[in-house]
Structures are given as C-alpha cells and as structure tokens.
Structure 1
Amino acid sequence: MAEVRSQLPRGRHGLSREEVVRSQRDRILLAMADAMAENGYVGTSVAQIIRRAGVSRETFYEQFSSKEDCFTSAYDRAVELLLAQIGAASGLAAPGPDDPEPPADQRIEQLLGAYLEGLASEPAFARLFLIEVYAAGPAALARRIEIQAGFVDLVASALDARTAEQRFACEALVAAISTMVTARLALDDLDGLRNLRGPLLDLLRRGRPLFGGDADG
C-alpha cells in the first residue's frame, strides 16, 4: 500500500478522472488510519484527515458524507488488506484441483502467522480494525463482530473442528487472540505481536483435540 501514500504530481499527469478519484480516496483512507493511530477516533477531525491526505475539504465531502462514513470505508480497507495478507501468506487461497490439502497443523500455522504478520505490517490499519472501532459507534462495532465471526470460521476450518464443543473452543481461542494482539498494538509492541505465534502454536499443539479433529485423538 506504500504506493498510494504520495500525492499526485502537480500539473498534467495523464491520469483519468477515475484514477484521480481512486488515488484521492486511497490517500484519505490512509490519512484517517494514520491520524487515528496518533489521536484516536474521537481526537481525529476531518481537518486533520484532509491535511494529511493533501486534499481539499470539498474533495473529502465528494467522497464521504462524514467522518463516520470515512471510518467505515477505512475499516473495510483494513479488512481487505488483512484478508489479502492472510490469503497470500497462508496458502489458504483456493487450491488447484490436483493440490493435496495440507494437514491441519500446517493450515493453522500458516493462518496464524499470516494474521499476525498482516497486523504488524499495517499497524495503523490494525489499530483501526481492533481498537478505534469501539469508539466509532454501533454500526462499526456490528461490522467488527461480523468480521471476527468470519475469522472463527477460518480457524475452525483450519483446525478441522467437527463438534459444537470444538467450534466453541475455536471461538474462545479467537477471542483470546484478539485480546492479546489488541494489547500489543495499544503499546506499539509489534515485535511482541509477531512473537505471539510460537506460544499460540504450542498451546494449540498441546490442546489439539480440544479445537478440532477426532475427539478421541
């Protein structure tokens, strides 16, 4: 995403109107994430966002009806970035017809590693996704709950959860991971965020039947 952080060149640039609008929108969303990383949702104003993005107030309101509307779009961008990171790094994209399915331990190792690296590689968007969403109103929070339920689905599938009890254990695991990564993001401890991978995988190995597979082992 680094390529959208710079402003358009002055003067004639040969870009279409659609490309200009897309570039402006990307800069606004990045500016909101960066501003909230410093000031929080409540402390971030539209004036701060447009100053960081290098756009006019008119341009902002051509794209978004309010700060809350901009947050919703930035939140969706954070989700998009995270899911793309998980899909690319975990190998969970749709396999080819002749590709064997990797074992559950490998699937969860790839999924967890991709999730933690995705958060650590985009900390401003990660804070938006995990922290500032709680200050952005009930609609944003409902979206957060929906996304977390989707992540439970990914974890349950990776671990081959087969029973209601295993599904519940996966839900509890995701809630615990969310709490731990949020704490490290709040402290800007990105190394600590990445270092959760080993202990979490060790926990999963020791409690394997609890989360998925045959209940009798």
Structure 2
Amino acid sequence: MTDTAGTARQLPRGRHGLPREQVIASQRERILDAMAETMAIAGYVGTSVAAVLKRAGVSRETFYEQFRSKEDCFAAAYERAVERLVDRIAEASEPAAENGTSETKLDRMERLLDAYFEGLIEDPAYARLYLVEVYAVGSDALTRRAQLQDSFVAVIAEVLDAHTEEQRFACQTFAAAVSAMVTARMAAADLEGLRGLCAPLLDMIRRSGELYGYAMVHEVRA
C-alpha cells in the first residue's frame, strides 16, 4: 500500500540533536499516519495498538505518552483528516480573485467538488478513516461527523445562494447523497468511480433551476 499524503518520516537513529518538541511532533505524526494506514487494511475493529506501533516504529511507552487509547488515537487522526479536507474545501470555495475573467457560481461549485474529491483520492487512508471507519468507533465520532456534514451543507448553500427553508433542505439532501455515494466508493476502493461523480453532480445542479438556490436562475438570466 502506498503512503498517505502526509506520512511522516522516521527520525534518524542515535543522536540527532533535534529539539524534544520536534521529536514528539514527528512521533505523533507517524502514529497518526500508521493508524490511518493500518485501518485502511484491517478496519478499526481489526486494528490493534501493537499493529500501529509496528507500522509507526515507536514504542508502546511513546504511544501512551500521547494517547490514552486506540479510540483516542483514532479521534486525533480523524481531526487531522478533517482539518486537511476542510481547509482544502474552504480555499476552493472562495470567490476567485479578480483576474479579468468572470466566474459563475457553477464554476465555484466545480472547484468545491473537485477539491473534495481530489482531497479524498490523494489521501485514501485518511479518507477511509473519515468516511468508513468512523461508523465503527462510537456515538461521539458520529456526532462529530454530523457536525462536519452541516458545515459542508452551509458552504454549498452559500455558493448556490440558498435562502429559503426548502432550498437549504435541498442542499442537505444533496450533501447527504454525495456523502453516501462517496462512502460507498471509498469502501470499495473505487477511486476512479469517485472521480467520475463530479461531472454528473454538476450537471444535476446546472439543470436544477432554483431547487438548491437562486444561483442557477441568476446565471441563466445573465
């Protein structure tokens, strides 16, 4: 299996002269990457702390200096995955800087979806952790997942000019449908199928009229 996008490299053995803070940060990164990569193979239930330690190249003492349990380590890896994806989506959903060309709302929506899908494709171990393995962990993780879904809905609603209660509900159903389709493809390791979702989703929005918001109506009139 290939490394995740952010896999931390093991520090050189022996005396390396690095500050303790840097050593701890490197160890933490390796443990989080190892958690995601091991779960991508064995699933959350089948992943043991011992397997994570072996992949990360750290001692049990080092692990428990930073995490209370496997679930605590999962929570930290989950937050890391979320932070990467949210930052990527937030940057992509911002209006383009003035460069002499006009940008439509659909252009912004395309950038948003591209950022979402490519973020998952480029970091499949963390994507699986975020989308699939979260369901095996417990209610706290699922609550956090629902909160993030709400944030995604808010971004979609802003881009598509959703103002009415009906439009916001439509954006919720759109986000839920995207999540379900993406989760199914990640569970099957179908990255090409994941990439292929973007175009038909955009076409559906293009033909939606004011279902999701007023953006498409305004663009047609313009």
TM-score, structure 1 normalization: 0.92
The answer for unaligned runs of 5 or more in structure 1 is none
Asked if 1:186 corresponds to 2:187, the answer is yes
Deviations 1:160-201 (A, max 9, x none): 111111000000000000000111111111111111111110
Query: Helix, strand or coil for the counterpart of 1:211?
Result: coil
C-alpha displacement at 1:136, in angstroms? 0.5
Asked if 1:58 corresponds to 2:64, the answer is no
Aligned to 1:77: 80
Once residues 86 and 22 of structure 1 are traced to their aligned partners in structure 2, the CA distance between those partners, rounded to angstroms, is 26
Q: Count residues in correspondence.
A: 215
Once residues 37 and 149 of structure 1 are traced to their aligned partners in structure 2, the CA distance between those partners, rounded to angstroms, is 26
Percentage of pairs with the same residue: 56
Deviations 1:125-152 (A, max 9, x none): 0011011001101111111111111111
Letter in 1 for 2:168: R
C-alpha displacement at 1:209, in angstroms? 1.2
Whether the aligned pair in 2 keeps the contact of 1:27 and 1:53 (CA below 8 Å) is: yes
Aligned to 2:94: 92
Say if 1:99 and 1:11 are closer, same or farther in 2 by CA, change over 3 A.
Answer: farther
The answer for unaligned runs of 5 or more in structure 2 is none
Whether the aligned pair in 1 keeps the contact of 2:105 and 2:216 (CA below 8 Å) is: no
C-alpha displacement at 1:121, in angstroms? 0.7
Aligned to 1:163: 164
Report 1:67-216 matches (<5 A): 67-88=70-91, 90=92, 92=94, 102-213=103-214
Whether the aligned pair in 1 keeps the contact of 2:53 and 2:59 (CA below 8 Å) is: yes
Query: Helix, strand or coil for the counterpart of 1:42?
Result: helix
Say if 1:105 and 1:142 are closer, same or farther in 2 by CA, change over 3 A.
Answer: same
Once residues 134 and 6 of structure 2 are traced to their aligned partners in structure 1, the CA distance between those partners, rounded to angstroms, is 25
C-alpha displacement at 1:59, in angstroms? 0.2
Whether the aligned pair in 2 keeps the contact of 1:4 and 1:23 (CA below 8 Å) is: no
TM-score, structure 2 normalization: 0.90
Say if 1:215 and 1:114 are closer, same or farther in 2 by CA, change over 3 A.
Answer: closer
Once residues 3 and 161 of structure 1 are traced to their aligned partners in structure 2, the CA distance between those partners, rounded to angstroms, is 35
Letter in 1 for 2:176: A
Once residues 116 and 215 of structure 2 are traced to their aligned partners in structure 1, the CA distance between those partners, rounded to angstroms, is 26
Query: Helix, strand or coil for the counterpart of 1:9?
Result: coil
Once residues 117 and 70 of structure 1 are traced to their aligned partners in structure 2, the CA distance between those partners, rounded to angstroms, is 25
Query: Helix, strand or coil for the counterpart of 2:214?
Result: coil
